[in-house]
Amino acid sequence: MIAAPAHEALRLNFNMIQNPAPVATPKVTTVPIPPHAKLPLGRSKGVDVDVAAKRAEKASVGIITMGRQEFGQMVDDLGVLLMKSINPITPEIKEKVFDLANDVRGLAAMVEAPLIGEIADAMCKVIDLDADVSCDTGQLVMMMYFGIRKTFEASLKDMKFEYEAEIRRVLQDVRDKMLSDPNLRNQISR
């Protein structure tokens, strides 16, 4: 078979752009929610969300105090796991570290440790996307853990962590590097 000349191939491509293949319309079947599955919502009005949220926040104080203890344990567990297994990071270890870091990021802001939440979020993204941020992933994760540990220790003493500004700068740097990679940029949701 004789290959089409380059200009011919370009013309073919141009035609494809102008007349893209039709996108198949999916068959959609609508299924009404049967009566037995409908929610038994009362006729009377319920509560005002703003008022209920304020009440809930007051009532959550005890739960959040309890959460701080659980949070401390999580930070310890993450450290133990990393110390034991950082080199090399196998897929199983990676998953465990990710899961623990994920728990930490979920709980951090609730127990008033937003910086730890930010570091843990960056840690999760680095692990999940296997981001090449110009340094060894294991090293980066360890550095992030160091940030979490130190911030947590400072919070226990009711002190501001002296390297907070530095950590924020590094996190921004990591985020920028990840965003500059088009493959990673599309996968980062926040």
From the CB of 130, what's the least distance to other proteins, in Å? 12
Buried residues in 68-102 as b, exposed as e (16+ CB within 10 A): beebeebbeebbebbeebbeebeeebbebbbebbb
User: Per CB under 8 A, does 63 bind other proteins?
Assistant: yes
User: Per CB under 8 A, does 11 bind other proteins?
Assistant: no
Among 31, 90, 134, 158, binds other proteins (CB under 8 A): 31
Q: Of 6-14, 22-30, 141-149, 160-168, which segment contacts other proteins by CB under 8 A?
A: 22-30
**At a CB cut-off of 8 Å and minimum separation 6, what does 82 contact?**
97, 141, 142, 145
CA distances from 30 to 59, 76, 156 (A): 42, 50, 55
The secondary structure of residue 11, as a DSSP letter, is H
Please give the residues from 121 up to 150 whose contact with other proteins meets the rule CB under 8 A. 121, 124-125, 128-129
List residues binding other proteins (CB under 8 A). 23-24, 26-34, 36-57, 59-60, 63-64, 66-67, 70, 99, 102-103, 105-110, 117, 121, 124-125, 128-129, 186-190
